Amino acid sequence: MGAANGIEKMWEELVGLCNAQFSSAPFKRLLSAKFTQARAQQYSIQMAYYVQNRRDCWGYVQGSAPFEIKKLIWQHEEDELIGQKAQGKVDHITLAVQEGEVFGLSAEAFERTARLEGGEVCFSAWIRLAQRSWLEAIAASAILEMRNSGELIEGGSLSQRIGAMFERDLNIPMKKQINNAEHVVMDVEHAHLLMQVARTYATTDSTRRAILRGAKESLMIDRVYRGHLGEMVEALP
Amino acid sequence: MDLVSDLLKTLDQMVNDQFDSVEFKNFLAVPLTLERGRFYVIQNALYTSNRRDCWGYVQGGAPLEVKRVIWQHESDELINDPRAGMDHYALTVKQGEVIGLKPEDFAEAEIPSMVRACFYAWHHIAMHNHWLTAYTASHMLERRNNGKIVKGGGMSYRVGKKFENELGINLKKMISLDVHVVADTEHSENISEMFERYVKSAEDRDLVLKGARDSMAIDRAYRGALGYYMAQIH
């Protein structure tokens, strides 16, 4: 198979895997929940930890990637870690904390609430994956943004679906969910990073297998993580 | 004396002591020829790439506030240093023109075995240690290049002077070395501020000292290796 065909086929498989996440039992469990304020608060706090873990992982990926890809990741991290000051956009951690206000959360609530135990285990697993060979590592991180791209996921990305649930259950319009709304837009753009990488580096069967391996393992952790979130949400009033 | 100022003095002493080590003395004593100069400039580009790897890993393991400081630091290195109008790798390649090097000389360069071992050792510290250890390990290489701390000038300054004195190439023409004389002073000061915020206990201090000791040991091995390889070029 030629490299171009191989990349297209790999891309289709990756998109398929991302869509399949939403048919998995953990995703169905989380997405069938009904949000109360208490549930939304805890979900929001745990998602801020998830965003922080993403920053850990992208740092490790930046470390092992080739020079030109390091630059792409550095730019990617500008939105996430620093924000676009010229456009009046804050970083995504601050955004998550600001969004917490609509759920009745203070900034202190984020600081004093512990990470979910199951979340901690998943975060460690993602970090281990981020420290693997760079193609596996970048696929593991990038696939989570593909899974959050409304352009690639039929029926809407995870951020869109959760946002719709907050709107349905708590009457909080999407535009007031500033973190969710931002990720609905940004992850469409960020989802293309892996394809940019693949066009230059996924030129052999073994490199494409490395990408698929990293993506599949990351999606497996993602399912476990969403399962823990679903369990947490159900346990709350 | 408080914990952090005592620690910073120890770090300052350590970077000064590097220049009294046999490995540094041997490296700085190798007379430069044009070929040796070319070898050094290419190796310096590979060293810069290794720094980018390590700072990425350090960013991965560090707390959020420190990640932001490192991200800013990497702006000069990876994207664009306003002092030079380009990133630091491109700067090193551009500097190579002065001594007849082409971009492909950098792209095709091999990492000699002893140098490779040092690069992997730096990777290991950056990826598999407590963040304070990892952070210090990378920071110390800029502190060792800070002319405000190192008596007689940091490494870039001294090597730049060797190019000037032994090959007749003005330091200002060695644009990467020249920029690093200033950039690493700024970088090491910005990065050093984080010690004030995060070193609160003897345990924290020991994590910093471990990173400093390990990195300086690798740095000596690295300079020793460069000196060895340069001496083989006739």
Segment B142-182, tens digit of pLDDT:
999 999 999 999 999 999 999 999 999 888 888 887 887 77
Chain B neighbors of A70, CB-CB under 8 A: 52, 56, 78
Q: Which residue has the higher pLDDT, A19 or B184?
A: A19
The pLDDT score that the predictor gives to residue B12 is 96
Contact B52 A127 (CB under 8 A): no
Helices (H) and strands (E) in chain A, counts: 12, 0
| DSSP label at residue B99 | G
* Range of lowest pLDDT (A184-193, B1-10, B78-87, B142-151): A184-193
The pLDDT score that the predictor gives to residue B106 is 94
Chain B neighbors of A60, CB-CB under 8 A: 56-57, 60-61, 127
Confidence of residue B189 (pLDDT cuts 50, 70, 90): confident
pLDDT at B215 over 90: yes
Mutate to test the interface with A, among B52, B69, B131 (most CBs of A within 10 A): B52
B53 to chain A: closest CA residue: A63
Comparing CB atoms, the residue among A63, A78, A127 nearest residue B53 is A63
Mutate to test the interface with A, among B51, B54, B59 (most CBs of A within 10 A): B59
Cα B92 vs. chain centroid, distance in angstroms? 13
Confidence of residue B35 (pLDDT cuts 50, 70, 90): very high
The pLDDT score that the predictor gives to residue B100 is 93
The pLDDT score that the predictor gives to residue B214 is 98
Rounded-to-integer distance, Cα A100 and Cα A180, Å: 11
User: Which tokens go with A195?
Assistant: 């394809």
Contact A59 B56 (CB under 8 A): yes
Superfamily covering domain A3-235: Heme oxygenase-like (1.20.910.10)
Angle at A36 between CA A30 and CA A42, to 5 degrees: 65
**Average pLDDT for A156-172:** 93
Rounded-to-integer distance, Cα A75 and Cα A103, Å: 31
Interface of B with A in 86-145 (CB under 8 A): 87, 89, 123, 126-127
| B74 and chain A in contact, CB less than 8 A | yes
* Range of lowest pLDDT (A125-139, A175-189, A212-226, B72-86): A175-189
Give residues with Cβ within 8 angstroms of A128, minimum separation 6. none
**Average pLDDT for A151-166:** 93
Chain B neighbors of A77, CB-CB under 8 A: 71
The pLDDT score that the predictor gives to residue A84 is 81
- Nearest C-alpha of chain A: how many angstroms from B198? 17
For residue range B36-81, list pLDDT tens digits in order: 999 999 999 999 999 999 999 999 999 999 999 999 989 888 888 8
Domains assigned to chain B? 3-232 (1.20.910.10)
User: Which tokens go with B36?
Assistant: 């040796």
Type and span of the H or E element at B132: helix B131-143
Cβ atoms of A138 and A214 within 8 Å: the answer is: yes
What is the percent of chain A where pLDDT is above 70? 100
Give residues with Cβ within 8 angstroms of A87, minimum separation 6. none
Contact A81 B60 (CB under 8 A): no
A78 to chain B: closest CA residue: B71
- Please state the pTM of the whole predicted model: 0.92
CA distances from B104 to A66, B80, B96, B180 (A): 16, 21, 11, 23
Rounded-to-integer distance, Cα A17 and Cα A212, Å: 10
Provide the residue type at A216 as one letter.
K
pLDDT at B1 over 70: no
Confidence of residue A4 (pLDDT cuts 50, 70, 90): confident
Contact B71 A81 (CB under 8 A): yes
- Nearest C-alpha of chain B: how many angstroms from A234? 30
- Nearest C-alpha of chain B: how many angstroms from A138? 13
Hey, which of B85-89, B93-97, B109-113 has the most confident mean pLDDT? B109-113
Q: What's chain B's average pLDDT?
A: 93
The pLDDT score that the predictor gives to residue B220 is 98
**Average pLDDT for B101-129:** 96
B81 strand-pairing partners: B86
Conformation bin of residue A101: beta by default, left when phi > 0, alpha when psi is -120 to 50: alpha
ipTM value, please give it: 0.90
Cβ atoms of A109 and B117 within 8 Å: the answer is: no
Query: A90 by DSSP, 3-state: which?
Result: coil
pLDDT at A137 over 90: yes
The pLDDT score that the predictor gives to residue A1 is 60
**How many CA atoms are closer than 13 Å to the CA of B163, on its beta-carbon side?**
27
Q: What's chain A's average pLDDT?
A: 92
pLDDT at A33 over 90: yes
Query: Which sequence spans correspond to the domains of chain A?
Result: 3-235
pLDDT at B194 over 70: yes
